[in-house]
Amino acid sequence: MSTTPTTDWLRLDQQICFSLNAASRAFGGVYRVVLKDLGLTYPQYLVMLVLWEHGDLPVKKLGEHLRLDSGTLSPLLKRLEAAGLVRRERSARDERSVEVRLTEEGTAMRERALQVPRRIATATGLDVDEIRALRARLDDLTTALDAAVAEEMGAGR
Amino acid sequence: MSTTPTTDWLRLDQQICFSLNAASRAFGGVYRVVLKDLGLTYPQYLVMLVLWEHGDLPVKKLGEHLRLDSGTLSPLLKRLEAAGLVRRERSARDERSVEVRLTEEGTAMRERALQVPRRIATATGLDVDEIRALRARLDDLTTALDAAVAEEMGAGR
DNA sequence: CACAATTCGATTGCGCACAACTAAATAGCT
DNA sequence: AGCTATTTAGTTGTGCGCAATCGAATTGTG
Check if the beta carbon of residue A68 is closer than 8 Å to that of residue A44: no
Å between B20 CA and nearest CA of chain A: 6
Residues of chain A (71-130) having a beta carbon less than 7 angstroms from strand C: 71, 74-75, 77-78, 88, 94, 96-98
- On the question of pLDDT at A56 being above 70, the answer is yes
Edge-to-edge strand order for the sheet containing A57-58? A57-58, A98-102, A86-90
Å between B25 CA and nearest CA of chain A: 9
Check if the beta carbon of residue B76 is closer than 8 Å to that of residue B82: no
Please report which confidence band the pLDDT of residue B28 belongs to, taking 50, 70 and 90 as the band edges: very high
Helix axes A128-155, A116-124, angle to 10 degrees: 90
> Is the CB of B93 within 7 Å of strand D?
no
> In the prediction, which pLDDT does A7 show?
56
Q: In chain A, whose CA is at the least distance from the CA of B37?
A: A157
Check if the beta carbon of residue A23 is closer than 8 Å to that of residue B137: no
Residues of chain B (104-143) having a beta carbon less than 7 angstroms from strand D: none
How far apart are alpha carbons A121 and B144 in whole angstroms? 11
Residues of chain B found within 8 Å of residue A55, distances taken between Cβ atoms? none
- On the question of pLDDT at A40 being above 50, the answer is yes
Strands (E), chain B: 57-58, 86-90, 98-102
> In the prediction, which pLDDT does A79 show?
97
- Which 3 state secondary structure label does DSSP give B121? helix
Please report which confidence band the pLDDT of residue A14 belongs to, taking 50, 70 and 90 as the band edges: confident
- On the question of pLDDT at A10 being above 80, the answer is no
User: In terms of Cα–Cα distance, which of A131, A133, A109, A124 is closest to B12?
Assistant: A131
Alpha carbon separation from A77 to A5, A60, A156, B14 (Å, rounded): 48, 12, 36, 19
How far apart are alpha carbons B120 and B111 in whole angstroms? 16
Of A77-81, A111-115, B151-155, the least confident: B151-155
DSSP structure string for A71-140 = HHHHHHHHHHHHTTSEEEEE-SS-TT-EEEEE-HHHHHHHHHHTTHHHHHHHHHT--HHHHHHHHHHHHH
Hey, what's the torsion of the CAs at B7, A42, B45, B86, to 10 degrees?
170
Phi, psi of B29 (to 5 degrees): -65, -40
- On the question of pLDDT at A11 being above 80, the answer is no
Q: Give, as one character, the DSSP assignment of residue B95.
A: T
Å between A13 CA and nearest CA of chain B: 5
How far apart are alpha carbons A114 and A127 in whole angstroms? 18
> In the prediction, which pLDDT does B2 show?
44
- On the question of pLDDT at A9 being above 90, the answer is no
User: In terms of Cα–Cα distance, which of B52, B57, B53 is closest to B91?
Assistant: B57
Entry field: residues in chain B: 157
Share of chain A above pLDDT 90, in %: 83
Share of chain B above pLDDT 70, in %: 92
Q: In chain B, whose CA is at the least distance from the CA of A131?
A: B16
Of A122-136, B11-25, B35-49, B132-146, the least confident: B11-25
Q: Which nucleotide lies at the shortest CA–C1' distance from A59?
A: C9
Taken in order A24, A27, A32, A38, the sign of the CA dihedral is negative
Which comes out higher in pLDDT, residue A25 or B152?
A: A25
Which comes out higher in pLDDT, residue B150 or A71?
A: A71
Residues with Cβ within 8 Å of A32's Cβ and at least 6 positions away in sequence, in order, are A41, A42
Check if the beta carbon of residue A101 is closer than 8 Å to that of residue A89: yes
| CA atoms lying within 13 Å on the CB side of residue A8 | 7
Please report which confidence band the pLDDT of residue B10 belongs to, taking 50, 70 and 90 as the band edges: confident
> In the prediction, which pLDDT does B154 show?
60
Question: pLDDT by residue (tens digit) across B104-131?
Answer: 999 999 999 999 999 999 999 999 999 9
> In the prediction, which pLDDT does A2 show?
44
> In the prediction, which pLDDT does A95 show?
95
Mean pLDDT computed over B79-104: 96
- Which 3 state secondary structure label does DSSP give B91? coil
Q: What is the mean pLDDT of chain B?
A: 91
Question: pLDDT by residue (tens digit) across B34-50?
Answer: 999 999 999 999 999 99
Note the CA–C1' distance, B45 to C24, in angstroms.
30
- Which 72-111 residues of chain B touch chain A by CB within 8 A? none
> Which domains can be identified in chain A, with CATH numbers?
12-109 (1.10.10.10)
